[in-house]
Amino acid sequence: MKKLLITLFLFLLWCKFGVAASLTYDDLKKSEKALIKNPEDVLVLSSTNTDFIQSIISTDYLNYFNDYFIAREDCLATQVKLKFPAYWWLELVDCTYRNEKNIIYKYNLNLLFDIAHERYLNLRRAAKKQVLISKNTHDAGSFLWTERSVTINAFQKMEMFLERVYLTEINNDSKPKGLEIDDEEIISASSGSGFFVSKEGHIITNFHVIDNCNVVKVNFKGKQVNTKIFAIDKKNDLAIIQTDINPSKVFPVSNNDVTLLQDVIVAGYPLGKNISSAIKMHKGSVTALTGYEDNYSNFQTDATINQGNSGGPIIDKYGNVVGIAVATWVEQGVQGIHFGIKSSVLKTFANSKELNFLPPNRREISEKKLGELISDSTTYLECWMTGAKIKKMITKADSKKAFFSKFK
């Protein structure tokens, strides 16, 4: 309805300005100085732009992209209402980006933020270039052509990312096919890992591990207890949950981010408890200091991260947490590309919530003591959902209609 009203509003304004001009994208492509002399040209080209981009986007991800175009139309409607003030396209870029960030948070697609930000910077540069070449302060000229090509490129990157990097941890074996359970029944639907950082029972994990859960339960030393959410950071995919458990050991968190080729250990419960209920540990090294698309909040490691490892600790030889397992790259023929969230990002988040960590260890500890620390401080987390919610998620995943079905 909102999109219909915006479209109607733009159409009425277009009618007020007169018959649409013949200027096309081909004209803009031929010349950087192609002029947009009439406001109706902007509306027609904008509509053509939206239709063209949507025609080449996979329907799997239309929810996100549709919201993006609605946000852009809102911003354009504001400029129309203001009768296209001088260099109006600069404000169009800024306004659209502000709205897109909210859309990213809405759908918990925080790992797409870097791609969106890159597009914004490219469009900002194009918009400023248009200011320099435009003699008419109201002329968008080649900017609209650039906007289309930059947006297409960014959306295709997003599609590729969503297809290849997954965080899905639905326990398909908890109930065969998931469709025979009652809608109101609450069962274990997915699992992840976490780790204690305080004697008061604070646990660190990923936000996507606890997102959409009706109840989050901790399995620790033969006990299963409920938790409550202490704080969340959707942008960086972090969460702090709290229990009434008072662990004997907790992890200290490093004051320093990882360095290249540094040895690390990933700990957690890959594949839930399908293999065994024992904690698993994988050794590796840091292979890059940024994540996907140069995300500086993440780093890359060849220490194995599988489904179920999400939220688990990445530890150094001193027993300090240097990262949080968050994602792995899935593509045939590709191995050893896994991602962690940097400890500095965790510390910034925790400090903002007045949660203090133990000071980091400065001496290397024996493998025996390191193994004991990991075993005593790492937790298995279960996300419990209603049957109705599980059915909905499985149906979406099976039909690939949920553009974030790989990001739960």
Q: pLDDT 10s digit of each residue in the chain, 408 long?
A: 444 433 433 333 333 333 333 444 444 444 444 445 555 566 666 666 666 665 655 545 557 777 888 888 888 888 778 877 777 778 888 998 888 888 876 666 666 777 788 888 888 888 887 777 665 555 565 677 777 778 777 877 776 666 554 333 334 444 433 345 678 888 888 889 999 999 999 999 999 899 889 999 998 888 899 999 999 998 899 999 999 999 999 999 999 999 999 999 999 999 887 778 899 999 999 999 999 878 899 999 999 998 889 999 999 999 999 999 998 876 656 788 899 999 999 999 999 999 999 999 999 999 999 999 999 999 999 999 887 877 776 655 444 333 333 332
Correct CATH for 176-399 of 2.115.10.20, 2.40.10.120, 3.40.640.10, 3.10.20.740: 2.40.10.120
> Cα torsion at 336, 338, 342, 345 (round to 10°)?
170
In angstroms, the CA 74 to CA 6 distance is: 7
Segment holding 218, helix H or strand E: strand 215-220
In angstroms, the CA 229 to CA 213 distance is: 11
| Other Cβ atoms within 10 Å of 287 Cβ, number | 16
**pLDDT given for residue 154 in this prediction:** 80
Tens digit of each residue's pLDDT (9 = 90 or more) over 176-200:
333 456 788 888 888 899 999 999 9
In angstroms, the CA 28 to CA 154 distance is: 20
In angstroms, the CA 318 to CA 256 distance is: 12
Backbone angles phi, psi at 287, to 5 degrees: -110, -15
Tens digit of each residue's pLDDT (9 = 90 or more) over 262-298:
999 999 999 887 778 899 999 999 999 999 878 899 9
Instruction: Enter the tokens of residue 218.
Output: 């901790």
Nearest CA among 236, 254, 348, 342 for reference residue 298: 342
Which pTM does this prediction carry? 0.60
Instruction: Determine contact, residues 17/41, Cβ cutoff 8 Å.
Output: no
Domain borders along the chain are: 2-166, 176-399
